[in-house]
Amino acid sequence: MRIQTLILTTTLLLASIAVAHPAEALDVYVNGVKATGLKNADMVNCIVKFDAQGNIHIISPGYTVATSKEGAPLRIDGSSDFGKAKHGIAAKPKSRYVLMYKQNPRVGFSFEVFVNGLSFREIGLDSNEFTVDISDKLHAGSNIVRVVGKPTGTGPQSGSEADIAELRIFQGHVRDDGAFVAKYPPVWELIRAAVDRAPIDRSTTIEAE
Protein backbone atom coordinates (compact mmCIF):
# COMPACT_ATOMS: atom_id res chain seq x y z
CA MET A 1 0.00 0.00 0.00
CA ARG A 2 2.84 2.38 0.89
CA ILE A 3 4.56 1.55 -2.39
CA GLN A 4 1.39 2.29 -4.38
CA THR A 5 0.98 5.58 -2.48
CA LEU A 6 4.62 6.52 -3.24
CA ILE A 7 4.19 5.76 -6.93
CA LEU A 8 0.99 7.81 -7.08
CA THR A 9 2.61 10.71 -5.21
CA THR A 10 5.64 10.67 -7.53
CA THR A 11 3.42 10.58 -10.62
CA LEU A 12 1.38 13.53 -9.40
CA LEU A 13 4.58 15.44 -8.57
CA LEU A 14 6.03 14.87 -12.04
CA ALA A 15 2.75 15.89 -13.60
CA SER A 16 2.67 19.10 -11.59
CA ILE A 17 6.24 19.91 -12.62
CA ALA A 18 5.39 19.29 -16.26
CA VAL A 19 2.46 21.69 -16.01
CA ALA A 20 4.43 24.33 -14.14
CA HIS A 21 7.47 24.07 -16.42
CA PRO A 22 6.32 22.88 -19.85
CA ALA A 23 9.11 21.74 -22.11
CA GLU A 24 10.09 24.20 -24.80
CA ALA A 25 8.84 23.07 -28.18
CA LEU A 26 11.56 22.34 -30.72
CA ASP A 27 11.39 23.35 -34.35
CA VAL A 28 12.36 21.09 -37.24
CA TYR A 29 13.95 22.41 -40.44
CA VAL A 30 14.48 20.52 -43.69
CA ASN A 31 17.22 22.13 -45.79
CA GLY A 32 16.61 25.41 -44.00
CA VAL A 33 12.82 25.38 -44.42
CA LYS A 34 10.68 25.10 -41.28
CA ALA A 35 8.84 21.77 -41.21
CA THR A 36 7.60 21.63 -37.62
CA GLY A 37 4.41 19.58 -37.41
CA LEU A 38 5.00 17.62 -40.61
CA LYS A 39 3.43 14.15 -40.53
CA ASN A 40 3.70 10.93 -42.58
CA ALA A 41 6.98 11.80 -44.32
CA ASP A 42 9.96 9.57 -45.11
CA MET A 43 13.52 10.73 -45.86
CA VAL A 44 16.72 8.73 -46.38
CA ASN A 45 20.44 9.56 -46.59
CA CYS A 46 20.27 12.68 -44.45
CA ILE A 47 22.50 14.56 -42.05
CA VAL A 48 20.80 15.55 -38.79
CA LYS A 49 22.17 18.36 -36.62
CA PHE A 50 21.04 20.14 -33.47
CA ASP A 51 21.63 23.88 -33.09
CA ALA A 52 22.40 25.78 -29.89
CA GLN A 53 18.67 26.20 -29.14
CA GLY A 54 17.97 22.49 -29.58
CA ASN A 55 16.20 22.86 -32.92
CA ILE A 56 16.62 19.96 -35.34
CA HIS A 57 18.05 20.50 -38.82
CA ILE A 58 17.66 17.74 -41.43
CA ILE A 59 20.04 18.29 -44.33
CA SER A 60 19.84 16.54 -47.66
CA PRO A 61 19.40 18.91 -50.61
CA GLY A 62 17.22 17.32 -53.23
CA TYR A 63 14.29 17.28 -50.84
CA THR A 64 11.85 20.19 -50.66
CA VAL A 65 9.08 20.99 -48.21
CA ALA A 66 5.70 21.59 -49.86
CA THR A 67 3.61 24.04 -47.82
CA SER A 68 0.05 25.35 -47.78
CA LYS A 69 -0.85 28.96 -48.54
CA GLU A 70 -0.59 29.63 -44.83
CA GLY A 71 2.93 28.19 -44.74
CA ALA A 72 2.08 24.93 -42.95
CA PRO A 73 4.20 21.95 -44.09
CA LEU A 74 2.21 19.42 -46.14
CA ARG A 75 4.68 16.87 -47.48
CA ILE A 76 8.25 16.17 -48.57
CA ASP A 77 8.99 16.17 -52.30
CA GLY A 78 12.08 15.05 -54.18
CA SER A 79 14.81 12.59 -53.24
CA SER A 80 18.17 12.66 -51.51
CA ASP A 81 21.30 13.58 -53.43
CA PHE A 82 23.37 11.81 -50.76
CA GLY A 83 22.52 8.42 -52.27
CA LYS A 84 26.05 7.87 -53.56
CA ALA A 85 27.71 9.14 -50.41
CA LYS A 86 29.31 6.69 -48.01
CA HIS A 87 27.86 6.45 -44.52
CA GLY A 88 25.56 9.40 -45.21
CA ILE A 89 28.44 11.88 -45.49
CA ALA A 90 28.58 13.77 -48.77
CA ALA A 91 31.84 14.39 -50.60
CA LYS A 92 33.45 17.79 -50.24
CA PRO A 93 33.62 20.07 -53.29
CA LYS A 94 36.90 20.23 -55.20
CA SER A 95 36.60 23.98 -55.76
CA ARG A 96 36.93 26.55 -52.99
CA TYR A 97 34.07 28.85 -52.04
CA VAL A 98 34.20 32.14 -50.14
CA LEU A 99 31.52 34.42 -48.71
CA MET A 100 32.23 38.12 -49.26
CA TYR A 101 30.49 40.97 -47.42
CA LYS A 102 30.78 44.62 -48.48
CA GLN A 103 29.52 46.90 -45.77
CA ASN A 104 27.79 50.26 -46.18
CA PRO A 105 27.05 52.29 -43.02
CA ARG A 106 24.05 53.89 -44.72
CA VAL A 107 22.31 50.54 -45.14
CA GLY A 108 20.41 49.88 -41.91
CA PHE A 109 20.23 46.11 -42.12
CA SER A 110 21.51 43.18 -40.08
CA PHE A 111 21.89 39.72 -41.58
CA GLU A 112 22.26 36.11 -40.50
CA VAL A 113 23.60 33.64 -43.04
CA PHE A 114 22.69 29.96 -42.81
CA VAL A 115 24.48 27.26 -44.80
CA ASN A 116 22.70 23.91 -45.11
CA GLY A 117 20.39 24.71 -42.24
CA LEU A 118 22.99 25.88 -39.71
CA SER A 119 23.85 29.43 -38.74
CA PHE A 120 27.17 30.42 -40.29
CA ARG A 121 27.61 34.14 -39.73
CA GLU A 122 25.79 37.03 -38.06
CA ILE A 123 26.37 40.45 -39.59
CA GLY A 124 25.43 43.62 -37.74
CA LEU A 125 25.78 47.33 -38.47
CA ASP A 126 29.14 47.30 -36.70
CA SER A 127 30.50 44.44 -38.85
CA ASN A 128 33.37 45.34 -41.14
CA GLU A 129 33.85 44.03 -44.65
CA PHE A 130 35.15 40.47 -44.76
CA THR A 131 35.90 37.49 -46.97
CA VAL A 132 35.61 34.06 -45.34
CA ASP A 133 36.06 30.53 -46.69
CA ILE A 134 32.88 28.45 -46.44
CA SER A 135 34.12 25.38 -48.33
CA ASP A 136 34.08 23.12 -45.27
CA LYS A 137 30.37 23.89 -44.76
CA LEU A 138 29.47 22.68 -48.25
CA HIS A 139 29.27 19.32 -49.96
CA ALA A 140 29.52 18.44 -53.62
CA GLY A 141 26.13 18.96 -55.24
CA SER A 142 23.17 21.00 -54.01
CA ASN A 143 23.55 23.23 -50.96
CA ILE A 144 21.03 25.55 -49.34
CA VAL A 145 22.07 29.13 -48.51
CA ARG A 146 19.56 31.11 -46.50
CA VAL A 147 19.74 34.76 -45.43
CA VAL A 148 17.51 36.36 -42.82
CA GLY A 149 17.73 40.15 -42.92
CA LYS A 150 16.14 42.67 -40.57
CA PRO A 151 16.02 46.46 -40.80
CA THR A 152 17.65 48.29 -37.92
CA GLY A 153 17.00 51.79 -36.65
CA THR A 154 14.22 54.07 -37.85
CA GLY A 155 15.32 54.36 -41.48
CA PRO A 156 18.12 55.54 -43.72
CA GLN A 157 19.75 58.78 -42.59
CA SER A 158 21.02 59.97 -45.95
CA GLY A 159 21.15 56.87 -48.10
CA SER A 160 19.69 56.23 -51.53
CA GLU A 161 19.23 53.34 -53.93
CA ALA A 162 22.87 53.77 -54.89
CA ASP A 163 24.00 52.96 -51.33
CA ILE A 164 24.10 49.16 -51.07
CA ALA A 165 25.39 46.38 -48.87
CA GLU A 166 26.50 43.25 -50.73
CA LEU A 167 26.68 39.57 -49.87
CA ARG A 168 28.20 37.25 -52.47
CA ILE A 169 29.57 33.72 -52.71
CA PHE A 170 32.39 33.14 -55.19
CA GLN A 171 33.75 29.88 -56.55
CA GLY A 172 37.47 29.72 -57.26
CA HIS A 173 40.79 28.14 -56.41
CA VAL A 174 43.76 28.88 -54.19
CA ARG A 175 47.11 29.62 -55.84
CA ASP A 176 50.40 28.23 -54.60
CA ASP A 177 51.06 31.53 -52.78
CA GLY A 178 47.79 31.13 -50.83
CA ALA A 179 45.81 33.77 -52.70
CA PHE A 180 42.21 33.01 -53.64
CA VAL A 181 41.34 33.49 -57.32
CA ALA A 182 37.60 34.02 -57.83
CA LYS A 183 35.57 33.13 -60.90
CA TYR A 184 32.98 35.61 -62.13
CA PRO A 185 30.06 35.95 -61.90
CA PRO A 186 29.42 34.93 -58.27
CA VAL A 187 27.41 31.75 -57.71
CA TRP A 188 25.11 33.60 -55.29
CA GLU A 189 24.48 37.18 -54.25
CA LEU A 190 22.16 39.36 -52.19
CA ILE A 191 22.09 43.16 -52.36
CA ARG A 192 20.19 45.55 -50.09
CA ALA A 193 19.94 49.29 -50.65
CA ALA A 194 19.64 51.98 -47.99
CA VAL A 195 16.02 52.57 -48.98
CA ASP A 196 15.06 48.90 -48.45
CA ARG A 197 13.24 48.47 -45.16
CA ALA A 198 11.25 45.24 -45.55
CA PRO A 199 12.63 42.19 -43.68
CA ILE A 200 13.74 39.28 -45.86
CA ASP A 201 14.05 35.51 -45.50
CA ARG A 202 15.45 33.97 -48.68
CA SER A 203 16.72 30.48 -49.43
CA THR A 204 18.68 29.60 -52.55
CA THR A 205 20.24 26.39 -53.83
CA ILE A 206 23.83 26.58 -55.06
CA GLU A 207 25.60 23.75 -56.84
CA ALA A 208 29.11 23.13 -55.49
CA GLU A 209 31.59 21.35 -57.74
Torsion over CA of 133, 137, 139 and 144, rounded to 10 degrees?
-100
Same domain membership, residue 112 and residue 36: no
Beta bridge partners of 201: 148
Same domain membership, residue 102 and residue 84: no
Same domain membership, residue 197 and residue 108: yes
Residue 20 has pLDDT above 50, yes or no: no
Predicted pLDDT of residue 23: 53
Query: What pLDDT digit, counting tens, does each position of 121-167 carry?
Result: 999 888 899 999 999 999 888 899 999 999 987 655 567 888 999 99
Same domain membership, residue 85 and residue 4: yes
Same domain membership, residue 139 and residue 76: no
| Residue 85 lies in domain | 1-89
Same domain membership, residue 194 and residue 142: yes
Distance from C-alpha of 177 to C-alpha of 179, rounded to nearest angstrom: 6
pLDDT band at 106 (very low <50, low <70, confident <90, very high): confident
Predicted pLDDT of residue 98: 96
* Structural domain ending residue among the three candidates 38, 64, 89: 89
User: Across all residues in the chain, what is the average pLDDT?
Assistant: 81
Same domain membership, residue 126 and residue 71: no
Query: What pLDDT digit, counting tens, does each position of 34-59 carry?
Result: 889 888 888 877 888 888 788 888 88
* Strand duo 188-193 + 200-208: pairing: unpaired
Domain count, the chain: 2
